[in-house]
Amino acid sequence: MLVSPHRTQRPWQGSVEKQASDAQPQYDPSCYLCPGNARAGGVRNPDYGSTFAFTNDFAALRPEVPAGRIDQEERGLLVSESEAGTCRVVCFSPRHDLTLARMSVLEIRTVVDTWIEEYRELGAQGAIHHVQIFENRGEMMGCSNPHPHSQIWANQTIPDEPRKEQEHQRVYLEKHKICMLCDYVELEQEAGQRVICENVFFLALVPFWAVWPFEVLLISKIHLADIGALDDSMRSALADILKRITTRYDNLFEIPFPYSMGFHQAPTDGEAHPEWHFHAHFYPPLLRSATVRKFMVGYEMLASPQRDLTPELAAARLREVREVHYLDRV
């Protein structure tokens, strides 16, 4: 990771994103996620009153895929394998105009409960070994609809990013006889300069290794392998910290802040995973303002990631904004 904070002083005549769309209505008759509306393919959403989960009509993963492996000319160069799984969509609220930042902690708690139900139900299926819960927020991140929602992709094999994390956590545990993220939480709490906010069970910080300018790592302070291990008060604590992080993000540039976020946790492969420590990553694209994003191009694509402001400065910026949403201020 190359850190070069002086780079933000360079003049910017490059791309300027358009501001996120204007305020949304509470109900949009043309939205395929609003209660009572028809989705593509004709299925009609129920008149739901809190969260609503359904199988993605355009699922990238399907359960009925037969097992298969092709190694062209048996040279080990062009190898393809089939992958079974399923994709779900979780609507956070019937309200089209809300976001996590504008929902109450109690409402977010129902989202946490739904994620846990989904994680458990999907993970209990023998052919599903990994459950990825994530949210793409904002047009800049390719989100197709402003209605508050997340996705879940559940499949047979552990995908690349969690597999790399699993491997590093396993090696660290073997070497140091302590969980890597338990160690890291302690170090960051002592240091303090990368911490953004915390509650009894969770710590939000800009990680030392952050690639994106305002990247955030949300870590459970207690050693837990997965979201299913959260008890009643931890679930509420997760809802609380999610609201606080997303509110701080929105307040930074006073816009609905775009990001991709997702949970990383133990796979559902029936094995013991003492190395896994439950956490979430937030990857927002913005750098200088509401309209100037960080481009991961050139050196970043071909050599190594480079960041334009230090993680300590990013944490200070996120720490100094308030936890009252700019739209809720009187």
282-298 burial code (b ≥16 CB/10 A, e <16): bbbbbbeebebbbeeee
Residues whose CB is less than 8 angstroms from the CB of residue 69 and which lie 6 or more positions away in sequence, other chains included: 79, 80, 81, 82
Position 283 contacts ligand H2U (CB under 6 A):
no
| Residue among 214, 102, 112 at smallest CA distance from 148 | 102
Position 56 contacts ligand H2U (CB under 6 A):
yes
Position 82 contacts ligand H2U (CB under 6 A):
no
At its nearest, how many Å lie between ligand H2U and the CB of residue 146? 9
Position 86 contacts ligand H2U (CB under 6 A):
no
Segment interacting with ligand H2U, rule: CB under 6 A, options 52-60, 115-123, 263-271, 303-311: 52-60
Position 12 contacts ligand H2U (CB under 6 A):
no
Q: CA-to-CA distance for 223 and 66, rounded, in angstroms?
A: 37
Closer of 210 and 280 to ligand H2U (Cβ): 280
User: Residue 243 is encoded by which pair of tokens?
Assistant: 């609201």
Residue 265 and residue 227 in contact, taking contact as beta carbons nearer than 8 Å: yes
What is the Cβ-side half-sphere exposure of residue 183, based on CA atoms within 13 angstroms?
Answer: 11
At its nearest, how many Å lie between ligand H2U and the CB of residue 188? 30
Near ligand H2U by CB under 6 A: residue from 65, 143, 292, 316:
143
User: Residue 269 is encoded by which pair of tokens?
Assistant: 């492969």
Closer of 20 and 182 to ligand H2U (Cβ): 20
- 149 is known as an active-site residue: yes
Position 145 contacts ligand H2U (CB under 6 A):
yes
Position 58 contacts ligand H2U (CB under 6 A):
yes
Q: CA-to-CA distance for 85 and 157, rounded, in angstroms?
A: 9
Closer of 56 and 199 to ligand H2U (Cβ): 56
Closer of 45 and 265 to ligand H2U (Cβ): 45
According to DSSP, the residues that pair with 320 across neighbouring strands are: none
Position 136 contacts ligand H2U (CB under 6 A):
yes
Catalytic one among 129, 130, 149, 277?
Answer: 149
Closer of 284 and 311 to ligand H2U (Cβ): 284
Query: What is the DSSP pairing of strand 306-307 with strand 2-3?
Result: parallel
Near ligand H2U by CB under 6 A: residue from 8, 24, 31, 39:
39
The residue number whose beta carbon is nearest to ligand H2U equals 39
At its nearest, how many Å lie between ligand H2U and the CB of residue 246? 16
Segment interacting with ligand H2U, rule: CB under 6 A, options 2-10, 53-61, 102-110, 163-171: 53-61
Segment interacting with ligand H2U, rule: CB under 6 A, options 51-59, 98-106, 278-286, 300-308: 51-59
What is the Cβ-side half-sphere exposure of residue 9, based on CA atoms within 13 angstroms?
Answer: 3
In one-letter notation, the amino acid at residue 231 is: D
Q: CA-to-CA distance for 46 and 44, rounded, in angstroms?
A: 6
Q: CA-to-CA distance for 324 and 244, rounded, in angstroms?
A: 9
Closer of 40 and 78 to ligand H2U (Cβ): 40
Position 144 contacts ligand H2U (CB under 6 A):
yes
Q: CA-to-CA distance for 254 and 290, rounded, in angstroms?
A: 8
User: What value does the CA radius of gyration of the chain take, rounded to a whole number of Å?
Assistant: 20
76: phi then psi, degrees, rounded to nearest 5: 70, 15
Q: Which residues are catalytic?
A: 149
Contact set with ligand H2U (CB under 6 A): 32, 39-40, 56-58, 89, 136, 143-145, 151
